[in-house]
């Protein structure tokens, strides 16, 4: 199970991993906690009145297409996007949005989904959200709450029979090592490096934010094309001529053929570093 804040997050974080496990026969569920109703239109080609006026509906259609491409199941939890507050001082979040919900209210639908789908592994964001969007931070909180509560029959009554997941991972979406490896390959070929500005900012980013150890590298370069097609399906959010696609695919595959994770909780024995999200799970459940 992959728990995400908005439509498109599933395609920008862990998509190739999910496609790999689907191809290997795993059942994968994406839980999208909000509808992305307050998301900006980041692809200039989609910035049209009929899209702006129906952004929630459009993003649901984009999600349906991406879901088909990845081969995953997907469900919405029904919360309203909080938006990304801007300004100094920051304005209050909109009334009733996801990020202002009490923790138990925000977590109940996810606990219900965990008890229904019965995942062995859950993927989510770190406790700073991967980046400081209020919905991403709340997604971490409800994911941790669901991991810890879904197996307890005394908690969240009426949401199904208890089920205890065995491992909880955080995405490590932008590790410095990945960008260094790709940058070196680009320099070696004499190609323009779209990550130059990002590389200059890493020192500040690492000083201001927690750095998570990569405990688990899942080889999934065979599915990078699938990931990119799922990204492009989110046309309001992803510019096909933009940052995501600036590095040639052969360089991506040769330089960093993995997607990266931090093992945050585990109820099974496993050895580090891992190459499989199900390490220890397969031995425990006999699959």
Q: Specify binding-site residues for Zn(2+).
A: 6, 9, 136
Tokens 């209050």 sit on residue:
92
- Residue numbers in the known binding site are 6, 9, 136
ω into residue 273 within 30 of 0, thus cis?
yes
Say what the alpha-carbon torsion angle 115, 122, 283, 213 is, to the nearest 10 degrees.
Answer: -160
CA-based nearest residue to 130, from 39, 33, 219, 4? 4
Nearest to 98, CA basis, from 169, 172, 37, 10: 37
Instruction: Enumerate residues 6+ apart whose C-beta is below 8 A from 83.
Output: 38, 93, 94, 97
């Amino acid at each position: 199970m992959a728990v995400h804040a908005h439509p498109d997050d599933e395609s920008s974080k862990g998509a190739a991993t999910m496609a790999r496990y689907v191809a290997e026969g795993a059942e994968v569920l994406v839980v999208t906690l909000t509808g992305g109703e307050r998301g900006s239109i980041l692809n200039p080609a989609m910035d049209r009145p009929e899209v702006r006026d129906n952004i929630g509906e459009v993003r649901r259609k984009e999600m349906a297409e991406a879901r088909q491409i990845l081969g995953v199941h997907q469900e919405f939890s029904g919360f309203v996007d909080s938006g990304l507050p801007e300004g100094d001082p920051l304005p209050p979040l909109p009334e009733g949005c996801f990020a202002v919900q009490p923790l138990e209210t925000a977590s109940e639908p996810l606990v219900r989904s965990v008890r229904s789908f019965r995942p062995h592994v859950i993927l989510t964001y770190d406790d700073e959200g991967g980046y400081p969007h209020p919905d991403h931070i709340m997604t971490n909180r409800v994911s941790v709450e669901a991991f810890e509560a879904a197996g307890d029959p005394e908690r969240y009554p009426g949401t199904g029979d208890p089920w205890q997941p065995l491992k909880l991972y955080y995405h490590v979406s932008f590790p410095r090592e990945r960008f260094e490896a790709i940058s070196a390959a680009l320099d070696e070929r004499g190609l323009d490096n779209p990550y130059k500005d990002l590389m200059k900012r890493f020192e500040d980013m690492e000083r201001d934010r927690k750095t998570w150890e990569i405990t688990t590298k899942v080889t999934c370069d065979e599915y990078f094309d699938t990931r990119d097609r799922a990204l492009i399906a989110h046309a309001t959010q992803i510019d096909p001529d933009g940052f995501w696609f600036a590095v040639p695919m052969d360089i991506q595959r040769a330089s960093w053929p993995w997607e990266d994770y931090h093992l945050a909780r585990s109820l099974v024995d496993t050895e580090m570093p891992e190459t499989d999200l199900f390490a220890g799970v397969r031995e425990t459940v006999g699959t």
